[in-house]
Amino acid sequence: MISCSRSVGGRVLKLQRNHFHQNVTKLREASSIKVTPGKMVATNKSVAFCWLRNDLRYHDNEILTKANINADHVVPVYCFDPRHFKGTYHFGFPKTGPHRAKFLKESVEDLRATLRNRGSDLVVRIGKPEEVLPFLIKSVAATTSHLVFQEEVTKEEKDVERSVRDRCKDAGVNVHSFWGATLYHKTDLPFPINKVPDTYTNFRKAVEAQSRVRGVCNMPDKLKPLPENLDLGEIPTLSKLGVEELPMDQRTAFPFSGGETSGLARVKNYLWDTNNVANYKETRNGLLGEAYSTKFSPWLAHGCLSPRYIFNEIKKYESQRVANKSTYWVIFEMIWRDYFRFVCMKFGDRVFYPSGIMGKKVHWKRNAQLFEMWKDGRTGVPFVDANMRELKETGWMSNRGRQNVASFLLKDLGLDWRLGAEWFESQLLDHDVCSNYGNWNYAAGIGNDPRENRKFNMVKQGLDYDPEGNFIRVWVPELKNIKNARIHTPWKMNIAELTNAGVSLGEDYPKPVVIAPEWGRHDHKMNNSNSNKKQKGSWMPPGQKRGIDFYFSGNGK
């Protein structure tokens, strides 16, 4: 992914690589299955192969429409790339963890079902696209062959694109790429990519004033058929991909399946069925349940939902029901998503460097023990631990949680930001390379943030957004008998109080790995939580600025 040193500092890497070494071996064996020659499929017509990656949808899909217009046969293809199920670049965490792997598999299954309803199908292979696609195209004797795909941004994806393009062109295949991942098309920006502003506000104001969001593509009712007798391939099991299959944790705030069908249903529910979108700005910093935020991000990350489709639905909702700050804020946050993608285009590999896109030298520590405590939710700081356990068990974490656990790793523990970025890459349902690494640059103070030395106060944040400790009780049940807000600081309770709550610090629950001096400023709130005014979803302090829904930004301290 990046061109700097691969040295990792020992133990963290070994722990993770040993953990899933056997699964990777299984995957290597599985990935070799499709390389044997197959039956030649003959057709005297033109064929367009649509290479699908992070665009797993039928609606608003330009590569499908272009292929359908310009060829006699359309062949949608998805490759399960074995490299996506190996280790992350520096620390060897499973690159696609079990929750996202399950969501991805469900998304591929759903797309196949949708295509079948449209008179088509999805060809599925396990293997590297630069090997699979030329082989597949060669197996179909067409008068003219085309390969169509949606462009990506960062190095690993661009390297694969380049290799696919070169090999296909060498074989006489016509290669066409399109842009479709963002709300604003890259050619509609009011500046060239190398002039993308270094702050989000300037970017947003410029595109809102000078650019337009294009309409969604008109999709055909039916796609042109696949060539006859083409081997469709089977969608692999998670086990075949080297991934452990986990049951859904019933505590999850994201109880949804992957795929376009469930994504479209979520948009309908959040806007039209419940009107939750009209209160979004007030509830989006919630922590429990499915209703406090849009939850669109996993579907956006996999391309199961088009950002332009969501934009159009918001505009319809505003014209038919209500337009307010909440409805606008969903669009505001999709512009954040665009911004990080264009920032990654502008700065390239620098988003992965230790010094970030701004080239700022910071001394980061690598302490395997501290990192393990952070990722497993065993730091002894309940608000941090609750969020980290939710991530590990479900693949989901709220926006508010992401801001806080990132700040804790970076500012309280002083650990290398890339540890956090790669762990999020492994675990998040909604991992998007540009948004994830852009946001970790932002949190580490080496990215697009005009404010320096931002640090979140873990105790204040917990009291502000989980004043009664209900979120902590769900995810840190060892502390469930501690009453009210005192659950945020169990280390301040005396032995009698802890015994009465059935807690023994250092045994049932860890002692805190660090206590920041500023946490003590809010002791007076511990016994007054019942008097906190609550808004919809959860209590928010008046005037509190909040971060974005999909990732973490904002300056709430």
DSSP for 380-437 reads: S-HHHHHHHHHHHHHS---HHHHHHHHHIIIIIS-B-HHHHHHHHHHH-TT--HHHHH
CA proximity to 214, closest of 252, 253, 186, 247: 186
Report DSSP state, residue 10.
Answer: S
Angle at 162 between CA 44 and CA 419, to 5 degrees: 135
Q: How far is CA 10 from CA 22, 96, 295, in A?
A: 20, 22, 36
Q: What is the pLDDT of residue 452?
A: 65
Q: Is the pTM of this model over 0.75?
A: yes
Q: What's phi and psi for 473, nearest 5 deg?
A: -65, -30
Tens digits of residue pLDDT in 78-132: 999 999 999 999 999 999 999 999 999 999 999 999 999 999 999 999 999 999 9
Cα 252 to Cα 475, 487, 536, distances in angstroms: 10, 21, 20
Confidence of residue 450 (pLDDT cuts 50, 70, 90): low
Number of neighbours of residue 380 by Cβ within 10 angstroms: 18
Question: Is residue 186 marked as binding?
Answer: no
Is 340 part of any known ligand binding site? yes
Q: How much is the pLDDT for 388?
A: 99
Residue 240 counted as an annotated binding residue: no
296 is annotated as contributing to ligand binding: yes
Tell me the two tokens of residue 152.
Answer: 């990506």
Taking only the tens place, the pLDDT of each residue in 160-210 is 999 999 999 999 999 999 999 999 999 999 999 999 999 999 999 999 999
Averaged over 331-360, what is the pLDDT? 97
| Residue position matching structure tokens 């505009």 | 315
- Cβ neighbors of 205 (< 8 A, separation 6 or more) are none
Nearest to 45 by CA among 218, 179, 226, 215: 226
Does 26 appear as a known binding residue?
no
In this structure, which amino acid lies at residue 527?
A: N
**527 band by pLDDT with thresholds 50, 70 and 90:** low
Sort residue 242 into left (φ over 0), alpha (ψ -120 to 50) or beta. Answer: left
Q: Is 195 helix (H, G, I), strand (E, B) or coil?
A: helix
Q: Is the pLDDT of residue 358 over 80?
A: yes
Q: Is 280 annotated as contributing to ligand binding?
A: yes
pLDDT higher than threshold 50 for residue 8: no
Which residue, chain included where needed, has tokens 């930001």? 417
Has 297 been labeled as part of a binding site?
yes
Q: What is the Cβ-side half-sphere exposure of residue 396, based on CA atoms within 13 angstroms? A: 26
Residue spans of alpha helices (H) in 192-231: 200-210
pLDDT at 528: 58
Residue 175: its H or E element = strand 174-178
Write out the H or E segment, with its range, that includes residue 316: helix 307-320
- Tell me which residue of 326, 284, 330, 317 sits closest to 536, measured CA to CA: 284
DSSP-derived 3-state class of residue 50: strand
State the chain's mean pLDDT as an integer.
89
User: Is 295 annotated as a binding-site member?
Assistant: yes
Using DSSP, state whether 272 is helix, strand or coil. helix
Is position 336 annotated in a ligand binding site?
yes
CB under 8 Å to 423, separation ≥6 — which residues?
91, 93, 375
Q: Any idea what DSSP says for residue 415?
A: B
The kind and range of the H/E element at 177 are strand 174-178
pLDDT confidence of residue 180: 96
Statement: residue 352 has pLDDT above 70: yes
Dihedral sign for Cα atoms in the order 325, 435, 432, 538: negative
The answer to the question of whether 333 is labelled as a binding residue is yes
Task: State whether residue 78 is helix, strand or coil.
Answer: strand
* Cβ neighbours for 408, distance < 8 A, ≥ 6 positions apart: 374, 379, 381, 384, 456, 458
More confident: 416 or 557: 416
Q: Is 93 annotated as a binding residue?
A: no
Q: Which domains are delineated in the chain? A: 46-179 (3.40.50.620), 181-215+257-347 (1.25.40.80), 368-528 (1.10.579.10)
List the beta bridge partners of residue 141.
Answer: 42
Query: Is the confidence at residue 37, as pLDDT, over 60?
Result: no
pLDDT of 25 above 80: no
Residue 355: CB atoms within 10 Å: 15
Higher pLDDT, 511 or 43: 511
Residue with tokens 């500046």: 191
- 3-class secondary structure, 223: coil
Q: Which helix (H) or strand (E) holds 147?
A: strand 145-150
CB 178 within 8 A of CB 151: yes
CB-CB contact of 553 with 336 (8 Å):
yes
Going from the C-alpha of 465 to that of each of 383, 488, 527, the distances in angstroms are: 10, 11, 16
Pairing of strands 174-178, 145-150: parallel
Distance (Å, rounded) from C-alpha 363 to C-alpha 534?
A: 41
Tell me the percentage of the chain whose pLDDT exceeds 70.
Answer: 87
Query: What DSSP state is assigned to residue 229?
Result: T
Measured distance CA(488)–CA(474) in Å, rounded? 13
